[in-house]
Amino acid sequence: MRFVDEYRDPAAARLALADIEAVSARLVGPERPVLKFMEVCGGHTHTIYKHGIENVLPPTVELVHGPGCPVCVIPMGRVDDAIAVATTPGVIFTSFGDMMRVPGSGSNLLEAKAQGADVRMVYSPLDALRIATEHPEAQVVFFAVGFETTAPSTAVTLMKARARGIENFSVFCNHVTIVPPLKAILESPDLRLDGFLGPGHVSTVIGNHPYRFVPGVYAKPLVTAGFEPLDILSAIVMLCRQLDEGRCEVENQYTRAVPEEGNTRALAILAEVFELRPHFEWRGLGFISQSALKLGPAYAAFDAEERFSIPGVRVADPKACQCGEVLKGVIKPWECKVFGTACTPETPIGTCMVSSEGACAAYYNYGRFTRHQTVPVELSGARS
């Protein structure tokens, strides 16, 4: 594939890895035996496992998987709310496929569907709007999740719905913002990180300026990175160089997509449609103030939370589940008590095990064999 294969070139990867190995070797010692970098974004986690990047990194560098999977941070109570709306008579409930198997306290959307709720998988909020125009007799609700990456498409859909007067459409909004949880993680006392891979997709919208507090207040370097394997390696090289040269700043590896100022049009649309919630509960991280979006006054008529009676009951995370520690990078997925036994992708207890971007699911699906056991590539000459 053009414009993709270039970023998956093994020769270039070897050069980057040699760089990482050489520079990181100078930085580690008895005080700091391994450099720990957190990739904030679930998309990065997915790339890292899909391409086996952890297996090619030198032992001096370790990647910690952060909270940036929008599915993984949705608390159980919100899933229960979604199921309550979905099972309301006359409702067509639309959702991204990822959310279908996320467990609420009793069931999930897939099970609600099997028991008669009209739950449909869509690939875009505009698909949900189209369903609303095709079914004027039904109430069509879109389950909006995601960071600033997907919020603009929800916003545009809402603007269209209002402009066209599509009154049977509404949005159950669970959009969240990236900076508050990043702050929460940096405030966490049990944290030991040497730098961050900044979220590339979110940054295409919000730009790089919002991350200045990471080096400024918390003295950690941050490099915004793209989603191809070489992007990840290049960003790690840039982080190592910053540490090596005694610099600590926000840098942009993903310049082909991330403008410094972000996407001003998208930001304007977000400001028009949404407003900040005073607080929002994050799975495993608890309540974080001003960390999520709700529909602003001009769009309140399209807010599913206004239109339907939502239980809004807070459900405590299951005791056995250590999603919070995983999301903060305090423990590795396999260190969780229930990882791979009681909690698997088929029967997830925690959200990290559901989405392919979740740290646990990625590790379980892709990385679940011993890291020091390498399997060299050697095929017969029969291949042409």
**Among the listed residues 6, 8, 217, 261, the single contact to other proteins using CB under 8 A:** 8
The reply on whether position 384 binds other proteins by CB under 8 A is yes
C-beta separation of 70 from 153 below 8 A? no
Amino acid at 162: R
Of the pair 16, 243, the CB lying nearest other proteins is at: 16
In the block, residue with structure tokens 């969780």 = 336
Backbone angles phi, psi at 339, to 5 degrees: -60, 125
Of the pair 92, 295, the CB lying nearest other proteins is at: 92
The reply on whether position 190 binds other proteins by CB under 8 A is no
Min CB(156)–other proteins separation in Å:
14
Of the pair 127, 275, the CB lying nearest other proteins is at: 127
DSSP string spanning 212-265? THHHHHH---EEEE-SSHHHHHHHHHHHHHHHHTT---EEES-TTT--TT--HH
DSSP string spanning 324-364? HHHHTTSS-GGGSTTBTTTB-SSS-SSGGGTSTTSHHHHII
C-beta separation of 67 from 282 below 8 A? yes
Report the distance separating Cα 244 and Cα 310, nearest Å.
52
Tokens matching residue 364: 């379980």
**Among the listed residues 22, 25, 97, 314, the single contact to other proteins using CB under 8 A:** 97
- Residues 32-61 within binding reach of other proteins (CB under 8 A): 33, 49-56
**Among the listed residues 137, 190, 219, 374, the single contact to other proteins using CB under 8 A:** 374
Min CB(48)–other proteins separation in Å:
9
The reply on whether position 302 binds other proteins by CB under 8 A is no
- Which residues contact other proteins (rule: CB under 8 A)? 1, 4, 8, 10, 13-14, 30, 33, 49-56, 97, 100-101, 110-111, 113-115, 122-124, 127, 229, 332, 334-335, 337, 339-341, 344-347, 356, 364-375, 377, 379-380, 382-384
